[in-house]
Amino acid sequence: MTEKKLAFIDKNLSELKETGLLITIRTIQSAQGAWLVVDGKRVLNFCSNNYLDLANHPDLKRAATAAIDKYGVGPAGVRSIAGTLDLHVQLEERLAKFKNVEAVIALQSGFNANLAVIPALTDKGDIIISDELNHASVIDGVRLSKADRGIYKHCDVADLKVQLDAAKAKKHSKILVITDGVFSMDGDIAPLDQITEVCEASDALLMVDDAHGEGVLGRGGRGIVDHFKLHNRVDIEIGTLSKAFGVVGGYVAGRKVLIDYLHQRSRPFLFSSATTPADTAACIAGVDLLERSTPQVEKLWENTHYFKSKLIKLGFNTGRSATPIVPVMLGEAPLAQKFSKRCFEEGVFAMAIGYPTVPQGKARIRTMISASHSKADLDQGIKTYEKVGKELKVI
């Protein structure tokens, strides 16, 4: 009986397979770094969000181990009842200082941070205006709100302004504009300075999801608000601790009154357990490290410029990338899958990304550059891309 009821899933999976959109999930059997053991094979890692090489950093590991010794392994509760450790409070204070904001609330993930803030701040009678390429967690956060919705063309400030004017004419009680800081599939940067200006002119709340800007943009990796020097002008910043910080977790940064309100109203905070002592302590060590020194951020950008310029010289199309996210645009999903498979055979782990993560016909290989890569690693990656690119007649 069950089998029959689930037949629709079989059909859907076959369809994904036929269209080259079935995702192959590979298993990693080693620590994070420039090289991984994946499905039993040692490969060069072009997939991880481990921008600053902190995921296996001795300082973070030491902090995590010490936290386990002192606090044990589990948080044992949601934060509002009995799950808030002094470590969570410390992390929030340290992040607030790092981001130059009044206060921070830490959550289990960046995904949860979006679900925490968007429905808590908006209601019936309001409108949320969102960039068309915003992250899935922003989209889901918007879906959880009773507010009206508008979508503006990707990074198009003129279109955003048209929609802001229309929203004002309709007398919505509140307008919330949301943009990713760095767009995760193209690696382009939102024009946050111009977006801030049009939001200010319309009295709209502005929220930026800085998951891929954290540790990458701004002084010492302080993010997109620092990059554009917009301190105190962006109402809500979302951050993740699962990318550049190399651990897991997410947070919301802004005015104290905003964070006080989220303690009362954000559902992932109120109804889901906190991050573990080990994770939280490792995140604090990550903030320590970034506050102390920035060679990782510099190396990340050096690697990015080197890798991207070589690819472009070879004739690859890296799209709109302005950050360490370097897509190699290939078009059709089966070609991207073939490219990824051939790279893997040649010892390079680079994932193909297709619909629905990116629009139909915009499939690509998404290369993630990191501070962990040596120049020799990058050269090897470039050589492999060149070989596979010629073989598949991409260049």
Ligand X SMILES: *Cc1c(COP(=O)(O)O)cnc(C)c1O
Q: Could you please report the per-residue DSSP string of 290-355?
A: HHH--HHHHHHHHHHHHHHHHHHHHT---TT--SSEEEEEEESHHHHHHHHHHHHHTTEE-EEE-T
Nearer to ligand X among residue 53 and residue 214 (C-beta): 214
Cα-Cα-Cα-Cα torsion 221, 224, 229, 232, nearest 10 degrees, comes to: -110
- Residue 179 in contact with ligand X, rule: CB under 6 A: no
CB of 385 to ligand X, least distance (A): 24
- Residue 178 in contact with ligand X, rule: CB under 6 A: no
- Residue 304 in contact with ligand X, rule: CB under 6 A: no
Q: Which residues of 358-388 are buried (b: 16+ CB within 10 A; e: fewer)?
A: beeebbbbbbbbbbbbeeebbebbbebbbeb
Nearer to ligand X among residue 251 and residue 385 (C-beta): 251
Long-range contacts of 194-199 (CB under 8 A, 24+ apart): 194/157, 195/157, 195/160, 196/228, 196/230, 196/233, 196/234, 198/157, 198/160, 198/161, 198/164, 199/164
- Residue 150 in contact with ligand X, rule: CB under 6 A: no
Residue number, nearest CB to ligand X: 110
Binding mask 100-129 for ligand X (x = CB under 6 A): ---------xxx------------------
- Residue 366 in contact with ligand X, rule: CB under 6 A: no
Nearer to ligand X among residue 205 and residue 325 (C-beta): 325
Closest CA to 52 of 287, 384, 376, 351: 287
Q: Which two tokens stand for residue 15?
A: 């369809």
Q: Which two tokens stand for residue 103?
A: 């206060």
- Residue 311 in contact with ligand X, rule: CB under 6 A: no
Binding mask 31-70 for ligand X (x = CB under 6 A): ----------------------------------------
CB of 191 to ligand X, least distance (A): 16
Nearer to ligand X among residue 51 and residue 111 (C-beta): 111
What is the C-alpha R_g of the chain? 21
- Residue 321 in contact with ligand X, rule: CB under 6 A: no
CB of 124 to ligand X, least distance (A): 26
- Residue 327 in contact with ligand X, rule: CB under 6 A: no
CB of 250 to ligand X, least distance (A): 5
CB of 390 to ligand X, least distance (A): 32
Active-site residue set: 184, 212, 243
For residues 262 and 384, what is the distance between their CA atoms, to the nearest angstrom? 48
Binding mask 130-149 for ligand X (x = CB under 6 A): -----x-x------------
CB of 239 to ligand X, least distance (A): 9
Cβ-based neighbours of 299, under 8 Å, separated by 6 or more: 371
Query: Residues 243, 47: contact at Cβ < 8 Å?
Result: no
Nearer to ligand X among residue 36 and residue 216 (C-beta): 216
Cβ-based neighbours of 104, under 8 Å, separated by 6 or more: 91, 92, 93, 95, 96, 251, 252, 253, 259
Nearer to ligand X among residue 370 and residue 384 (C-beta): 370
CB of 240 to ligand X, least distance (A): 4
Instruction: Select from 179, 242, 367, 384 the one that contacts ligand X (CB under 6 A).
Output: 242
The residue with tokens 């990458």 is 216
Nearer to ligand X among residue 224 and residue 378 (C-beta): 224
- Residue 250 in contact with ligand X, rule: CB under 6 A: yes
Cis link prior to 334 (omega < 30° from 0)?
no
Query: Beta-carbon neighbour count of residue 295 at 10 Å?
Result: 9
Instruction: Select from 202, 240, 296, 384 the one that contacts ligand X (CB under 6 A).
Output: 240
Q: What is the sign of the dihedral through the CA atoms of 80, 147, 149 and 230? A: negative
Q: Kindly identify the residues of this chain, within the stretch 199-238, that bind ligand X according to CB under 6 A.
A: 209, 211-212
Binding site for ligand X (CB under 6 A): 109-111, 135, 137, 180, 184, 209, 211-212, 240, 242, 250
